[in-house]
Structure 1
Amino acid sequence: MNKCLSGSNCIQKKQTKLEVKRAPSRAGSPQTESARKMKLPIFIADAFTATAFRGNPAAVCLLESTLDEDAHQDIAREMNLSETAFVRKLQPTDDFTQSSRFGLRWFTPEAEFPLCGHATLASAAVLFQKRKNRNSILTFVTMSGELKARRAEDGIVLDFPVYPTFPQDFHEVEDLIKAAIGDTLVQDIRYSPDTKNLLVRLSDSYDRSFLESLKVNTEPLPAIEKTGKVRGLILTVKGEPGGQTAPYDFYSRYFAPWVGVAEDPVTGSTHTLLGPYWSEELGKKEMRAFQCSRRGGELDISLRPDGRVDIKGGAVIVLEGTLTA
């Protein structure tokens, strides 16, 4: 039985299982007519950072009209970032400056992804900063339902669902964990059936520097776990609030070789699991998190009484151009 977060209202909701849509191999196949003639505004934004070349870069394409289905994956492969976002008008009369509702899809270089935080943040940043969208709140219609992004003084706040995690028997995933991190001490293991992520909390004897320097072997993981149960590995350690100039409540890293992402620099969607997990462990609703990739990124987490989570971060647009093919 799920435990409610302390001080929150218990709201039972049916969770939607998130599925990756893997693109078929198209080696040697000719481009479609629409793919050959496309001219698309494209941007790259670094998400969950206030500094260029930090955080997690995402490509953002603005679609005035329907794009050939295969072209989405072709563009994502060409951009070769962890995610490429496609923002589309829902109605022909919609406008990227005036409208407040848009369609949104995310693609890794290998597959369509059901939920992506940093590419959603990047998409909102492009609309707010480059298209001067006049609305304070944007709504994105996605595979994971309606997601909202709202302006804040020091960033953009994402309104995301919360996904519960459940205790996971170590012996069922022992080979996977040992292949990834060897004999590193593990304190807790949780599994999210909705997102197919495995959350591994390392021993509290480890700190941020240990997690940052930990060598994680992702190459053999898809061959070890090929049942489809796991598609992402989260490593996390308890923070040291008050012990640093910029204290954080918890740290994490994320690996998804099953979908072509060896390590994701900063992952908003994993905090839909990490937020409620650490909220229960620490007895806090407001938390500050840091993802310890080489680029690094900061996230402000707020657990809401309606069973959702606010994830706030900054974004810096570093590239603007036109995609032609």
Structure 2
Amino acid sequence: MANQTKTKIPFYQIDAFTTEAFGGNPAGVCRLTEWLDDDILQAIAIENNLSETAFYLPWKEGYHLRWFTPGCEVDLCGHATLATAHVLFQNECVADDSIKFYTRSGILTVTRAGDELCMDFPAICDLAPCHIDAGILEALGIDASAVVQTWQSFDYVIMVNDPDVIENLTPDFARLSHYATRGFVVTSQHPDYDFVSRWFGPNVGVNEDPVTGSAHTILAPLWTNYLGKKPLTARQGGARKGELRCVMREDGRVELYGSARTVITGVFCL
């Protein structure tokens, strides 16, 4: 039988926000030479079954970058951006020290910073305090007495008074999926980090994301103001965890520093 394969797409699986294989947050990264139909990109993301698959191709003086969960395309993803920059620097041998990405969230820049990469993202500094429905707390498994304060942006943000509350969360994802929000962030101070968190997003096809860079565009300004310090050290995750550093800038942007590790290289054959 003749080979019917027409398109081969280089593929990488990168563990982001970690220096160790099987840590941090895994992301798929696919290098394209032209945009494929959106349903094909979505099918690849479903096939990967990772929280995010990034697709990039050369564009102007940088790269056009898009992100897909198994459920939909999203406006911003930090760990898959870090993963894509890692692929370009380490696997594709880009010589420049800075990479510019054109995205649905504007121009994002990733720069080499020693052994780390630094992502320059817009910060969400105007969080609105809100009342959290009791059903959300029940679905997350949080007792109301543990809640310090709550806010809403593109995610609900719930600050709790004990990191053990976060460690022991066992959310009911079916119940959480009934609420109109991208996701839910639960965060607290921690003796070993400035803050820790977990993120849940059943509405976008990701029950739990181990390390969510985009959520730190909310958490970095929140904790910078709450603690009155910078930079901040952070850890996110449940069974699987990763680490990053956050630096709020005076221009309303946040620098997110992290490492990444290549764990799989291959080819999608379409």
Could you tell me the TM-score, scaled by structure 1's length?
0.79
**Against the structure 1 CA distance between its residues 182 and 286, is the aligned structure 2 distance closer, same or farther, given a 3 Å change threshold?**
closer
The offset of 1:36, in angstroms, is 6.3
Partners of 1:40 and 1:323 within 8 A in 2: yes
The offset of 1:68, in angstroms, is 2.1
Quote the residue 1:50 is aligned against: 19
Partners of 2:139 and 2:175 within 8 A in 1: yes
State how far apart, in whole Å, the 2-side matches of 1:183 and 1:272 are.
Answer: 26
Partners of 2:209 and 2:237 within 8 A in 1: no
Alignment of 1:2-17 (within 5 A): none
Quote the residue 1:232 is aligned against: 183
Q: Which amino acid aligns with 2:76?
A: L
Identity %: 43
Quote the residue 2:130 is aligned against: 168
Quote the residue 2:156 is aligned against: 198
State how far apart, in whole Å, the 2-side matches of 1:36 and 1:282 are.
Answer: 55
The offset of 1:154, in angstroms, is 2.0
Q: CA RMSD in A?
A: 1.5
Unaligned runs of 5+ in 1: 1-34, 92-99, 241-246
Quote the residue 1:126 is aligned against: 87
Quote the residue 2:248 is aligned against: 303
The higher radius of gyration belongs to 1
State how far apart, in whole Å, the 2-side matches of 1:280 and 1:132 are.
Answer: 39
Unaligned runs of 5+ in 2: none
Deviation per CA, 1:62-120: give whole Å up to 9, x if none: 011222221110100000000000011226xxxxxxxx500000000010010000000
Deviation per CA, 1:29-54: give whole Å up to 9, x if none: xxxxxx96221000000000000000
The offset of 1:217, in angstroms, is 2.0
Could you tell me the TM-score, scaled by structure 2's length?
0.94
The alignment of Structure 1 onto Structure 2 pairs a total of residues equal to 265
State how far apart, in whole Å, the 2-side matches of 1:36 and 1:148 are.
Answer: 35
**Which residue of 157, 160, 169 corresponds with 1:214?**
169
Q: Which amino acid aligns with 1:130?
A: N
Quote the residue 1:257 is aligned against: 202
Residue aligned with 2:76, SS = coil
State how far apart, in whole Å, the 1-side matches of 2:91 and 2:128 are.
Answer: 41
Deviates more, 1:40-49 or 1:157-166: 157-166
State how far apart, in whole Å, the 1-side matches of 2:70 and 2:139 are.
Answer: 24
Partners of 1:266 and 1:293 within 8 A in 2: no
State how far apart, in whole Å, the 1-side matches of 2:58 and 2:142 are.
Answer: 47
**Which residue of 134, 139, 161 corresponds with 1:179?**
139
